[in-house]
């Protein structure tokens, strides 16, 4: 996204839009630094690329229980 990165977008959605929709990060690089940023910006979870559909499905079900 040219205007903001995923962390800025998450903060915007949560603070400005005041949305309670769960956010799952979809990251190509899942370093410990990126995972910590996901937690700090209060993303609900993350999945890494190459995406395994079953893993994403399980995480979505978990968030909506």
What digits encode the pLDDT tens for the residues 27-62? 777 777 877 777 777 788 888 887 889 989 999 999
In the structure encoding, which two tokens stand for residue 47, read together? 């999945």
In the structure encoding, which two tokens stand for residue 11, read together? 């903060």
Query: 3-12, 13-22, 32-41: which range is least confident on average?
Result: 32-41
Q: Strand locations in 1-65, DSSP E?
A: 24-27, 45-48
Mean pLDDT of all residues in 7-24: 87
1: confidence class by pLDDT, cuts 50, 70, 90: low
What domains can be seen in the chain, in order of their start residue? Answer: 6-63 (3.40.50.2300)
Q: What is the pLDDT of residue 49?
A: 81
d(CA 37, CA 28): 14
Is the confidence at residue 18, as pLDDT, over 90?
no
Taking the whole predicted model, whether its pTM rises above 0.85 is answered as no
């Amino acid at each position: 996204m040219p205007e903001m990165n995923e962390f800025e977008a998450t903060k915007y959605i949560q603070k400005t839009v005041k949305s309670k929709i769960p956010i799952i990060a979809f990251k190509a690089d899942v370093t410990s630094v990126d995972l910590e940023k996901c937690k700090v910006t209060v993303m609900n979870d993350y999945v890494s690329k190459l995406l395994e559909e079953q893993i994403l499905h399980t995480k979505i079900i978990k968030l909506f229980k």
